[in-house]
Amino acid sequence: MEDLASLSFVADLERENLVLRDEVLRLKLRIAELLAAQRESLSRDLMAMSDVADNEQKILSLNVGGTIFATLRATLLQHEGTFFEVRISPFHLKVILMITSHDLQALFSGRHSNLIKDEQGNYFIDRDPTFFQDILNILRNPTIPIVVPQQEVARDAFFAELDYYGLLPIIMPKKATDKLR
């Protein structure tokens, strides 16, 4: 009788072992599926990050009031709060471009099909180019001394351009504070 009970016990153990093996195999397959999906997602994120890095180094040609300027996209996107603002989402590692009131941000984000370009393919900004080179130089090298024009009309025009591009509070914070008073 004991032999029969032992054989029944062994058979039960073997059945449980088969069930457990099937469960382990099913779990291994599920883990493999999840890992493959995670690898695919990471691969997409890496490609997106690579595209962002490549896009940051993109050279933009700007026609500001008839004068052509060339600069890196990254130069224009380095400060928050301007119309070129860019934010990186830490959750998805994807670029989310923010449209500001000037809507020039959208011009460089590539999301709008109604891009304003001149006949040569330069992005057109309908502004006086007088101070744009100075503004680009400040963006390229923020440590250079800012030379504010001495004549009141030219000084006001310079500050107006900084304000238009959303750079007055960044480049001349005291002047921006004074403007609010």
| CA dihedral for 17, 19, 25, 31, sign (positive or negative) | negative
Q: What does the block give as tokens for 172?
A: 């001349």
Q: Where are the domains of the chain?
A: 1-56, 57-180
Q: DSSP for 156-173?
A: HHHHHHHHHTT-HHHH-H
Torsion from C-alpha of 146, 147, 152, 153, nearest 10 degrees: -90
- Output the pLDDT for position 61: 87
Fold of 57-180: Potassium Channel Kv1.1; Chain A (3.30.710)
52: exposed, middle or buried (Cβ count in 10 Å: 0-12, 13-18, 19+): middle
Q: What pLDDT, on the 0 to 100 scale, is given for residue 48? A: 61
Rounded (5°) CA angle 85-91-95: 30
Structural contact between residues 124 and 132, judged by C-beta atoms closer than 8 angstroms: no
Return averaged pLDDT per consecutive 10 residues of the chain, 181 residues in all: 75 88 90 85 66 63 92 81 46 32 46 65 89 92 88 94 87 65 45
Look at residue 115 in the predicted model and tell me its pLDDT.
54
